[in-house]
Amino acid sequence: MNYLYIALTIALTVYGQIAIKMQVLQAGELPADGGGKLAFLLRLLLNPWIVSAFAAAFLASIAWMGAMTKFQLSHAYPFMSLNFVIVLALSAWLFHEPMSMTRLIGVTLICVGTVVAAQG
């Protein structure tokens, strides 16, 4: 049950990253001029999906506080590297981003490192 706090932190963080990427893709390119940039960013900040991503980040922080009451930071924190793994997989699936052998090796090393760090 204690690991649920860590899992919630990861899930909420990943959700926020994916939601922001989806909305930024829909919004298009960042304008070159200063006023255009400001209007673009304000529109994004008022987007309900972006607001939900910020809410998810806030809730992830609350879940992380719960995790900190159950685990040592040095034990719990390596699990946060799973964010990289999940976001990479979802980026390839949802956004058709390239999945190179180098990235796969890197993700494998992250997973191995997470297991090793969590054991100690």
pLDDT at residue number 10: 98
Picking from 91, 76, 75, 82, the residue whose alpha carbon sits closest to that of residue 110 is 82
Query: Residue 120 has what pLDDT?
Result: 67
Q: Given this model, what pLDDT does residue 74 score? A: 87
Identify the pLDDT of residue 40.
Answer: 95
Short-list 5, 15, 8, CA closest to 86: 15
Tell me the domain boundaries of the chain. 3-119
**What is the per-residue pLDDT for 118?**
76
Q: What is the pLDDT of residue 35?
A: 87
pLDDT tens, per residue, the chain with 120 residues = 899 999 999 999 999 999 999 999 999 999 998 889 999 999 999 999 999 999 999 999 999 999 999 999 988 998 998 898 999 999 999 999 999 999 999 989 988 888 888 776
Burial 20-43 (b: 16+ CB within 10 A, else e): bbebeeeeeeeeeeeeeeeebeee
Residues 119 and 71: their CA atoms lie apart, in Å, by 13
The pLDDT of residue 116 is: 85
Residue type, 53: A
CB 25, CB 95: distance < 8 Å: yes
